[in-house]
Amino acid sequence: MQSMGYRIVADENIQVTSALRSISDSLITLPGRDIAPAHLADADVLLVRSVTSVTEPLLAASQVTFVGSATAGVEHIDTEYLASRGIRFASAPGANANAVTEYVLSVLAARGRIAEVLQGGCLGIVGYGNVGRQLASTVVELGGAAVVWDPWQTVPPELSSPSLEFVLQQKIVTLHASLHEQSPWPSRAMVDTPLLENIPSGQLFINAARGELLTKAALDTLTARGSDIVLDVWPDEPAISASQLAAVSLGTPHIAGYTKCAKVAATNMLVHALNGTLAEADEADMGVQAPIDMTRHQAVSAATWLTQLLLTSYDPNVDTDALVKTCGTEVRGNDFDALRRDYALRRELRGRIVLMPTPHHAPLDRLVLALGATPSYAR
């Protein structure tokens, strides 16, 4: 591909792929929260993630003709203003769907809930976009069940919940809605205290979508009722109060979608939208995808073995420990952003080879295949 000569300003947390380099003679990366009008004086293209507010004050004096967001959500983008200026816009819906799905499954493994899923246990899923759809499908493939609330999407009858309240009464609840204020079902602050009156004891509550879906009062209610809370996103992100950090069993710095595959895919989706060329991830972008060696983990039970597989691929305890070690009991915004900036992108299970412990063990093979990986018995 020949260079198109685009002058690009990008959030430093966007993965710079070979496809992106090939279309730019000038690529400047900056902290997303610091991108200012002065940085865009000579830019044709602005590429952001979720922390840059793309509005008229940022772009009014620029000659930017294309804005891309390497995210699924677009609440940080004034799309009406872009349209009024004739500025093209693209986002990256679905790029991180598998990454977030695997994050949730690893959380279930870390919190000892995989057996519950394999025995037909039900996940309450709020949101049926790319992530919610893939998570529900994978859980069912693994032998579990799902019930979904999303009034904006067509949810299959076998998954559809009669109400948001019913979803929030499940023993495992995970949020995957986009953030918006569109009537008649705005999602901002959608999970509030009155909806949590009948939550079961021992509930596992996960938010890996947007911090503002859940009110602070609701978080306090969950804490008071003894829920097992896992947050990847936070109400006052990038700051995290001491009380919020103390309330969670696992807490990570908004990295549920931070895999090598997801980030490369998001960038290449924007490249495609910008110049119309489909970009495939190459070895230079992805590196070597080594097999996951599970040969030493014997199948005491399917649940135990799957737990070990998921935690071998990704253990959220590691990122929780890093957050606490770096930030202490209260997280400052600069520290939160630094953890995201310096995050060592993890690998996904999907598409990987899993070296199996027992020749042709059909139940384990089924679990590996449900995760989109390939079992292998080669020695």
Asked if 21 and 43 count as a contact pair (C-beta separation under 8 A), the reply is no
- pLDDT at residue number 289: 82
CATH class of 6-91: alpha beta
The architecture of the domain spanning 97-251 is 3-Layer(aba) Sandwich (3.40)
Active site residue 254: yes
Task: Encode the chain in three state secondary structure.
Answer: CCCCCEEEEEECCCCCCHHHHHCEEEEEEECHHHCCHHHHCCCCEEEECCCCCECHHHHCCCCCCEEEECCCCCCCECHHHHHHHCCEEECCCCCCHHHHHHHHHHHHHHCCCHHHHHCCCEEEEECCCHHHHHHHHHHHHCCCEEEEECCCCCCCCCCECCCHHHHHCCCEEEECCCCCCCCCCCCCCCECHHHHCCCCCCCEEEECCCHHHECHHHHHHHHHCCCEEEECCCCCCCCECHHHHHHEEEECCCCCCCEHHHHHHHHHHHHHHHHCCCCCCCHHHHCCCCCEECCCCCCCCHHHHHHHHHHHHCCHHHHHHHHHHHHCCCECHHHHHHHHHCCCCECCCCCCEEECCCCCCHHHHHHHHHCCCEEECCC
Question: 6-91 and 97-251: same fold?
Answer: yes
Give me the amino acid identity at 11. Answer: D
Overall average pLDDT of the 78-87 stretch: 97
pLDDT score of 265 more than 70: yes
> Would you place residue 3 in the very low, low, confident or very high pLDDT band (cuts 50, 70, 90)?
very low
Show the tokens assigned to 4: 């198109």
The active-site residue out of 133, 254, 347, 352 is: 254
The active-site residue out of 113, 133, 176, 210 is: 210
- pLDDT at residue number 341: 93
Active site residue 366: no
- 273-290 residue pLDDT tens: 998 867 666 667 777 788
> Would you place residue 2 in the very low, low, confident or very high pLDDT band (cuts 50, 70, 90)?
very low
> Would you place residue 95 in the very low, low, confident or very high pLDDT band (cuts 50, 70, 90)?
very high
pLDDT score of 65 more than 70: yes
Overall average pLDDT of the 347-362 stretch: 90
Rounded Cα–Cα distance for residues 59 and 53 (Å): 10
Four-way CATH pick for 287-376: 3.40.50.1820, 3.40.50.2000, 3.30.1370.170, 3.40.630.30: 3.30.1370.170
- pLDDT at residue number 199: 95
Burial class of residue 84, CB neighbours in 10 A (0-12, 13-18, 19+): exposed
The active-site residue out of 237, 347, 348, 350 is: 237
Domain boundaries of the chain, sorted by first residue: 6-91, 97-251, 287-376
